[in-house]
Structures are given as structure tokens and as C-alpha cells.
Amino acid sequence: MRHIIAVLLENEPGALSRVVGLFAQRNYNIESLTVAPTEDPTLSRLTLTTAGDDSKIEQIMKHLYKVVEVVKVVDLSEADHVERELMLVKIRAEGDAREEVKRTADIFRGQIVDVSPNGYTVQLSGPSDKLDAFIRAIGKLAILEVARTGVSGIGRGEKILSV
Amino acid sequence: MSGGEMLIRALQDAGAEYIFGYPGGSALHIYDAIFKQQKIEHILVRHEQAATHMADAYARATGKPGVVLVTSGPGATNAVTGIATAYMDSIPMVVISGQVPNNVIGTDAFQETDMVGVSRPVVKHSFIVKNPEDIPAIVWKAFHIASTGRPGPVVIDVPKDTTDPEILATYSYPKDIKLRSYNPAVKGNGRQIRKAASALLNAKRPIIYAGGGVIIGDGSEALTRLAKTLNYPVTNTLMGLGCFPGDDEQFIGMLGMHGTFEANMTMHHADVILAAGARFDDRVTNNPAKFCPDATIIHIDVDPASISKIIDAQIPIVGQVGSVLEDLAEAVESLKSNDAALPDAEALGEWWERINVWRASHGLDHNMAIEPDKPILPQQAIQSLYRATNGEAYVTSDVGQHQMFAAQYYKFAEPRRWINSGGLGTMGFGLPAAMGVQFAYPEATVACVTGEGSFMMNMQELSTCLQYGLPIKIIALNNQALGMVKQWQDMQYGGRHSQSTYSDSLPDFKTLVEAFGHIGFKVENGADLDSVMDEAFSPALKNRLVFVDVWVDPHEHVYPMAIKGGSMQDMYLSKITTSIQGDYM
């Protein structure tokens, strides 16, 4: 099963490589990874998606905690949460296709952020499967380039992840 | 003070007695700071790998972190094997590596290696020094992290500019630093401990399976107290030997791949297993799917990631093993005093009867009298060593058949006496390890059990031994082959000895050690074994390094040996017999 794990870690050089190295070393899979400093500049927040059965996810969480720079770890998918990913996608759009692409972007609540004579760049955010659906709707042939941020997430309600 | 001086001063303040190291360009400012002080003694090795094993064994014998200092590039990479060795066995160690100056890092400078990157998978943590004034706090943190929780090696990479004698900063060694991201557990959860006490007391077929964590976590005393209160059988892992007295009636030997028949049978048929500071290594469990089918497992470990990693634990307890075992012993005692019916004396009596049948039928004491026309058996050499040292020596070993024979036949009465590379299985560990122990305890008898293969991996340290007058006794079980490899080739590869023999090109070890300024003996005849062993450990040679080259039967295998893919009760017992499931129920 797919899990979204959020990690608070010390914003120090080398901390990220330790987390990424852990996954390679223990043969765990990373599907996506996103990391940036939080409102507290000494802390980074890292969100990663991985897959595995319960015992594997438990081991991943325990090993993440063992990384000395890791302060907190939470498996967001264990409870209600909001999950978002941002995608920028450059689409070939000429002639009749221009209107079609624009309409599809509207349906997905995407925004056109750049225009050129033969194409659009669309910005789209949402859960990963929505972004996948947009790519399918446009069709592989028309897609020139895709840049995705990877999943970021946060728990619903009053529960917070902090130091 | 300069950064170099602060580094050495901080090591003094951290309580370091010795630095095991080897100088080089990037470390020269630090070496100059060493020259200007007397408090810490620097031990000049002949190869950086040996420095790490010395520091590692010093830590294993004393419980205090060992300290290593190497230069950048090859100095650092040579240290990696020793760091990995310490990591796998959870040994506290602080490794300081010189590095090229900050302004040339990343330019492929002379002797530049990304040491933090290279060592990352085999360290508990690592630091790079950016500014000289950070050095005292980094050293404090390194010692703190290395020696608390589940111990392990910590690397401090020190770019040369941060130790520059021209750049001065004010020294202040911290008393305490709170690390918000590092708070290892000490006390175990009280409810879990009470649950464990009740499970233990209600067991019909119990066993205590104690590993290296009992030694590292200072739990030997509490473990012995608990085992004595309950009169339950105790088995040790390779790393745990000595945490319970090896000559005690309740001790049923080492378990696992080359464990005793009785230990493996007792494990397999147990209904409650108390696993203390052990990690269900594949060399113990054999096939995890077939592991101890009836057992409820209580697992005590300081590292939560060790619990339910290989085998699910029904009663996990996270905490420092010594502290948890003390609380558990107390809980068991109070529960027992409230209920005289616990534990079930009849069931326990029957259990011991079964265990004693296993013990009597297939213990290790095969008929091994020395016979005049037959080659010396390696087991006999260990028995002779045990006798000559009254079982009181510190014994280090290398890796292979001799290691297993030593583990099986030398009965360790105390913790921290048996020093070997269990997790990584590093050949070349034995000699430098013996040196590290001898530095820690100059008056102690230190024996290194080795094979000719392992010994040749770090024999350059014989020179270091002469320099520092280390009176180590080296017992080499010389079978003129890579014995364990050859055994596997005999058993699994139709006897095809691919690249495991070299009998036509071995040195004469007696002459070799004499060339290094030491004393050598060669024993080929069983009749001479005891007398040579006695001479090696005689008061006359107390201050000399002695090498005993014991030519042993090259065809001997280590038994019992687990049958691959089976359960713990599936073992080869000799070249022609196996334990057939059901026979010993």
C-alpha cells in the first residue's frame, strides 16, 4: 500500500543525504520526495511517498527515527489528511487543439501560466491521481514536458506535526 | 587555541586515554597538537584498518569509546572496514579523519575523499567541521552519540583549515548539550515489563536467549540474577558469550548456525523465549518462517528498529537492556513471591530433563583425546588454551573456523572477555583487537585465536606490538587453507576447493615473527601441544609476544552446522550425521 510519510529534520548539511541513503541502503523504495525549510529555519520538512506492507512501513518509520537529525516522523496516510502535488506541464497546442487544451485545463481547474504560438504551459495542483488523470486526458502525444514537485501533505483537523 | 589544539583538548576532556592513528598531510596540524601534550597517548599503527580495530576492541573491553585519527583520502578509506565492523556490532568509537581544506573540497584535490559520504552507511552519525570554534561541541556530541542508546561509530571529518595553527579561537568544552532529535530510551515500559514477567513465570518450556546487547547495555548482572531466580536455561549468541557464566550448569552454550545441539533444540521447542539484547540474526534463526513455531517472544532491545525486524515479538520492550533486565528481575521476584505455584516446577523439571538428554547425546565434548599418530584437532588447541589460561584470558579472534571453535570451546565466565567481529565478520580483526585490549589492560593475559589466513590480513601490526611492548599471545590454528570457505566447498560444492588453498606458499610463521622481534613456536605433534601452550603463557615469557603456530587437521569441519533453509533443530552434527526432525522430541 502507498504511504505518505512526513519527516521533520534538522536543516543541516548532510541530513537529507542520510535520509535518502537510508532508503537505498535498506532496499526501501521512494516514489516521490519533496523537501523545504519550515517556518522555523532550523527545521526542514520532508514528505515522501513509499509503498510496502505494514511491517515494512513500521521498519521505515523506526529507521527514520534512528537518523540522528530526524526530529519527528508521521505516517500521514494513517489518518485523514490533505495531499497535494503541483505540476507544470508544457503541452503542444496548435489550431483546434488550442481550445481543447484550454477547456481540459479548465475542467481540471488548471491555470495557463505561459503561452507560446504552438503551445501552453499549464499549472495544476491536487492529489497525484488527479495529475495523472490530466496527463491521460491530454494524451501523451501532445505532452512536451512535465515537471512535478512530488507529494506534500498535512493531517486534517487539529493534530499538528511540530517539535 | 588553534583548532588542532582544541580538538586534542576536547578529546582529553571527553576522557580519551589513547588515540590509535596514522599521520598524513591533512592531519598534520592535529599531530603537531598531539606532540605538544602528554595526557593522551597516541599509538602509531602500521595500517589504518588496524587502528580502527584497536580502538574498537579497546571499547569492547572497557565500555568506553575508542578513538581513531587518520588522514584524508587513503587514510580515511582504509579506516572504513574497521568502522563497518564496529557499526555492525554496535561498538562506540569516534573516528577523526583529516580532510583537505574547505576551499578545495570538491576539486579532486590530492588525497581528497568524501569521507562523510563514503562512511555514511556504516556510521551512527557523522560531522564535518566548518569552523574551528565548533570543534569542542562537535567532539562532545560525537562521544555522546557514540556511547549512548545503541552505541556505534561516529566520524568527525576535519578540513585542514579548521585546525590551522594561525587561526585561534576560545576553547570551552560543553557540560551538556540537549539534542532535540536524539533521545534514546533508557527505562522500559512498566506495563510491558509486568506482562513479560507474567509470561516468563507461566512458561512451561522457557529459554533465555541473550546477545551482545546484554554486554553493551551492562545487563550481565541482572541477567544472571533473573536466570538464577527462575532456574531457566540460558543460551548466548556469538556476541553475547560471557554475559552469563559459560561454566554454569544453566548455560547450554551458543546457539545458531554453529551453536550447540542442545541450545538449538531448546530454542526450537520453547514456548517462551526471552530475547535480551539480541537481534535474531540470520546466523541464529536459520529460516525465519520455520523459527521456533510454539514460542511467545519477549524482546528487549534499546533499538526499536531491531524489534520485530526479522521475527515478530509478542511482548516488545524498548529500553537500555541493563535497566530493563533489572526491572524485569524485580517484577519476576515480586510476582513469584506472591504466587508460590509459579513457575510450574513440574513442567520445568521435565523441560530440564529433555534439555539434559539433548546435552548428553550431542554436546560438544566428543571424544577428543590426543592420539599420537593423528593430527591435532583445532578443538583440542582451544581446550589447551582454556586450560593454560584457567579460562581467565581476554580472547580475541579473527573470522572463520577457529572463531567458531573458540566460541564453542572457551567458556567465558565474564562479559567483555570474548572479543570478535560477529556482525561484519572481518578477517584481520584478531591481532589489532588483541592490541587494543592489551592497551586497555596492560597486566591482563590477552590471547588472539587466529588462523593463518586471517592473521596474514593484518600481520604488519607485529611491528607495532614490538614498538609498544605488547605481550600478546597469538594462537594460530594453521590448517593451511581458508578453512570455513573450504568447509562450505566440501559440503555444498562437491569438494571443489576453488581458491581456498595455498599450502605451498605459506611462510614459516616462527621465522616470520622472529624477524619482527618476537618469539615463535611451531607445534605439529599433539604430544607437544600442552607443554608449548604452557610455555607460551609462562611467567618467563610474560612480557613477550608469543606466536604459537599450531598445525591442525586440515580436514576438520565445524559442527553442529545449521542445514540451510531449515528450522533451528535442523543441523548437521558431523560429516555423516544430521539431526532428523522428530528424533529428539
Concatenating the DSSP letter of every residue in A76-102 gives GGGS-EEEEEEEEEEEE--THHHHHHH
Min Cα–Cα distance to chain A from B518, Å: 44
CB contact under 8 A, A66 and B181: no
- Give the pLDDT confidence score for residue B366 in this predicted structure: 59
- Give the pLDDT confidence score for residue B38 in this predicted structure: 96
| CA atoms of B138 and A40, how far apart (whole Å) | 23
Confidence of residue B582 (pLDDT cuts 50, 70, 90): very low
Section B203-218 average pLDDT: 97
B462-487 burial, b for 16+ CB within 10 Å, e for fewer? bebbeeeebbbbbbbbbbbbbbbbbb
pLDDT over 90, % of chain B: 95
- Give the pLDDT confidence score for residue B363 in this predicted structure: 64
| CA atoms of B273 and B200, how far apart (whole Å) | 8
Min Cα–Cα distance to chain B from A99, Å: 50
Assess whether B484 carries a catalytic annotation: yes
If residue B212 lies in a helix (H) or strand (E), which one and from where to where?
Answer: helix B212-216
Question: Which residues in chain B are closer than 8 Å to A70, comparing Cβ atoms?
Answer: 181
Q: Is B565 exposed, middle or buried (0-12, 13-18, 19+ CB in 10 A)?
A: exposed
By mean pLDDT, which of B96-100, B326-330, B376-380, B577-581 is the weakest? B577-581
| Secondary structure (3-state) at B131 | coil
- Give the pLDDT confidence score for residue B584 in this predicted structure: 47
CB B209 within 8 A of CB B255: yes
pLDDT over 90, % of chain A: 92
| CA atoms of B202 and B421, how far apart (whole Å) | 36
- Give the pLDDT confidence score for residue B367 in this predicted structure: 61
| CA atoms of B535 and B324, how far apart (whole Å) | 45
pLDDT over 50 (residue B424): yes
Q: Is B266 exposed, middle or buried (0-12, 13-18, 19+ CB in 10 A)?
A: buried
Question: Which residues in chain A are closer than 8 Å to B128, comparing Cβ atoms?
Answer: 13-14
Cβ neighbours for B331, distance < 8 A, ≥ 6 positions apart: B193, B194, B196, B197
Q: What mean pLDDT, rounded, does chain A reach?
A: 95
pLDDT over 60 (residue B585): no
Min Cα–Cα distance to chain B from A54, Å: 12
If one counts every other C-beta atom within 10 angstroms of the C-beta of residue A78, the result is 12
Provide the grid cell at B536. 607460551
Assess whether B160 carries a catalytic annotation: yes
For residue A55, give the nearest of B116, B128, B308 by CB distance: B308
Assess whether B473 carries a catalytic annotation: no
- Give the pLDDT confidence score for residue B144 in this predicted structure: 98
pLDDT tens readout for residues B139-180: 999 999 999 999 999 999 999 999 999 999 999 999 999 999
| CA atoms of A2 and A7, how far apart (whole Å) | 16
For residue B305, give the nearest of A21, A66, A71 by CB distance: A66
Could you tell me if the ipTM is greater than 0.95? no
Provide the grid cell at B375. 593430527
| Secondary structure (3-state) at A9 | strand
Supply the pTM of this predicted model: 0.95
Catalytic residue among B39, B41, B110, B564: B110
Min Cα–Cα distance to chain A from B297, Å: 17
Residues of B with CB under 8 A from a CB of A: 116-117, 120-121, 124-126, 128, 145, 179-182, 303-305, 308-309, 312
Catalytic residue among B54, B99, B124, B160: B160
pLDDT tens readout for residues A15-43: 999 999 999 999 999 999 999 999 999 99
Assess whether B6 carries a catalytic annotation: no
Provide the grid cell at B35. 606532540
Interface probe with A: pick from B181, B306, B309, most Cβ of A within 10 Å: B181
CB B561 within 8 A of CB B572: yes
Section B170-193 average pLDDT: 95
- Give the pLDDT confidence score for residue A63 in this predicted structure: 96
Section B97-103 average pLDDT: 97
Q: How many CB pairs under 8 A join A and B?
A: 35
| CA atoms of B535 and B531, how far apart (whole Å) | 6
- Give the pLDDT confidence score for residue B361 in this predicted structure: 77
Instruction: Say which residue the cell 524498548 belongs to.
Output: B318
Residues of A with CB under 8 A from a CB of B: 9-10, 13-14, 17-18, 21, 25, 55, 58-59, 62-63, 65-66, 68-71, 163
Kindly give the pairing relationship between strand B66-70 and strand B519-523: unpaired
pLDDT over 50 (residue A100): yes
Assess whether B48 carries a catalytic annotation: yes
